[in-house]
């Protein structure tokens, strides 16, 4: 049950939503955003006004899942970088919104539980008409592994503005974290609709350094065997 895997609109099992997949409070601006280069990826964490949090529910999810963090996977050149492949197409970058079940007190507690995690994934493709994301320049402050930085204007990372309000179509399957120790505790929700990013902005990710000082440019895991797992397709 390892991830990522190749996804196919033709081979996936169609399924209708009994309840729509929704994100609660994802339109609000955060009060604090911190970005950290951990040597493998960049991780954005958030604080929200009045102790609120972003919650995912509905669709294939059983119960409510609270946002823990957001991180990215990318490659050194076009046509590589995203972890999941959809209909034999690999794009340039993939963002993972990591949620943990509210049955548990934290991501650390939930990550080893079979029902503990949900990851909403969105795939980026390069385009000259991509928005200028106000949270990307912060990468200049975390060039070296271990560096962290708090954005001076947290409202530039509004999640609704990043991913939009449309959810379907998306794939769902049971899988794992794509970084060690690869716990098989993730309910994956991989959106088919692509997000846009410019080459200039993508180059800012490619300028980051790994723990050994080399450029961090291939932090995506190879495709794993599906092992006859059922992949659902919510149209």
DSSP count for the chain of H helices, then E strands: 3, 15
- Locate 59 and state its tokens: 């669709």
DSSP H or E run through 108: helix 107-110
* SS3 at position 85: strand
Give the whole-angstrom CA distance, residue 92 versus residue 112: 30
- The whole-angstrom separation of Cα 133 and Cα 162 is 8
What span, in angstroms and rounded, lies between the C-alpha atoms of 186 and 117? 5
Active site (annotated) includes residue 40: yes
Residue 18 makes CB contacts below 8 A (sequence gap 6+) with none
CB 93 within 8 Å of CB 199: no
Half-sphere exposure of 117 (CA within 13 A, CB side): 27
Residues paired with 122 in a beta bridge: 95
What is the DSSP code (8-state) at residue 50?
G
The one catalytic residue in 40, 71, 73, 84 is: 40
How far, CA to CA in Å, does 99 sit from each of 16, 148, 158, 170? 22, 21, 17, 17
Catalytic residues, by residue number, are: 40
């Amino acid at each position: 049950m390892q991830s990522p895997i190749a996804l196919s609109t033709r081979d996936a099992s169609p399924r209708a939503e009994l309840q729509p997949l929704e994100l609660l409070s994802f339109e609000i601006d955060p009060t604090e955003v911190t970005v950290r280069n951990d040597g493998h990826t960049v991780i954005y964490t958030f604080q929200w006004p009045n102790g609120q949090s972003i919650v995912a529910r509905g669709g294939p999810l059983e119960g409510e899942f609270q946002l823990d963090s957001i991180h990215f996977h990318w490659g050194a050149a076009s046509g590589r970088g995203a972890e999941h492949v959809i209909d034999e197409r690999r794009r340039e970058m993939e963002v993972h919104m990591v949620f943990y079940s509210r049955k548990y007190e934290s991501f650390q507690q939930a990550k080893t539980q079979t029902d503990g995690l949900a990851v909403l994934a969105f795939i980026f493709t390069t385009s000259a008409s991509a928005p200028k994301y106000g949270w990307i320049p912060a990468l200049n402050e975390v060039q070296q592994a271990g560096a962290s930085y708090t954005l001076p204007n947290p409202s530039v990372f509004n999640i609704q503005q990043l991913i939009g309000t449309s959810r379907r179509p998306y794939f769902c399957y049971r899988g794992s974290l794509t970084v060690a120790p690869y716990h098989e505790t993730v309910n994956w929700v991989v959106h088919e609709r692509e997000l846009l990013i410019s080459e200039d902005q993508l180059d800012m990710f490619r300028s980051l350094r790994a723990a050994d000082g080399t450029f961090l440019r291939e932090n995506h895991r190879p495709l794993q065997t599906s092992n006859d797992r059922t992949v659902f397709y919510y149209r």
